[in-house]
Amino acid sequence: MQIKDYFVPPKELVNLAPEEVKEKIKSGSYVLVDVRTEWEYRKGHIKGAILYPHGNEKKFLEKFGILDNVILVCKTGHRSRASANELVRLGMKKIYHMEGGMDNWRKKGFSEETSD
């Protein structure tokens, strides 16, 4: 992984506002992947999000394969862009992420659940 991956989104990445993420996950046809640490996830995550911390992209693909309905989320958006870059290198053709991450989700006052 290159440091610039934290800041340069791949062309295959579609940015979504928290409101758009909320609507997409409500449809039930999107896989919401939280790429933060386990500790961050336990402290608060979007209901239904599955945890695959940044750096575990190969494990995700081994379990789920190449999909075109994945939404990535992290704290601020940097790690989700970096994970998107890695997933694209591994063969994904389209991927979504939430702009501003969980910080933006919380700013909007949307609900989350904890695992503690």
User: Tens of pLDDT along 80-96?
Assistant: 999 999 999 999 999 99
Alpha-carbon gap, residue 69 to 31, rounded angstroms: 6
Q: Does the residue 115 lie in any domain?
A: no
Vertex 112 angle, CA 110 and 115, to 5°: 170
Alpha-carbon gap, residue 64 to 56, rounded angstroms: 12
pTM for the whole structure: 0.91
| CA dihedral over 14, 32, 35, 87, signed as positive or negative | negative
Confidence of residue 1 (pLDDT cuts 50, 70, 90): very low
Q: Does the residue 88 lie in any domain?
A: yes
Vertex 70 angle, CA 58 and 110, to 5°: 125
- Tally of domains in the chain: 1
Longest Cα–Cα distance in the chain: 37
CATH of the domain at 90: 3.40.250.10
pLDDT (0 to 100) of residue 12: 87
What residue numbers bound the domain in which 46 lies?
3-107
Q: Does the residue 85 lie in any domain?
A: yes
User: Tens of pLDDT along 3-58?
Assistant: 455 566 778 899 999 999 999 999 999 999 999 999 999 999 999 999 999 999 99
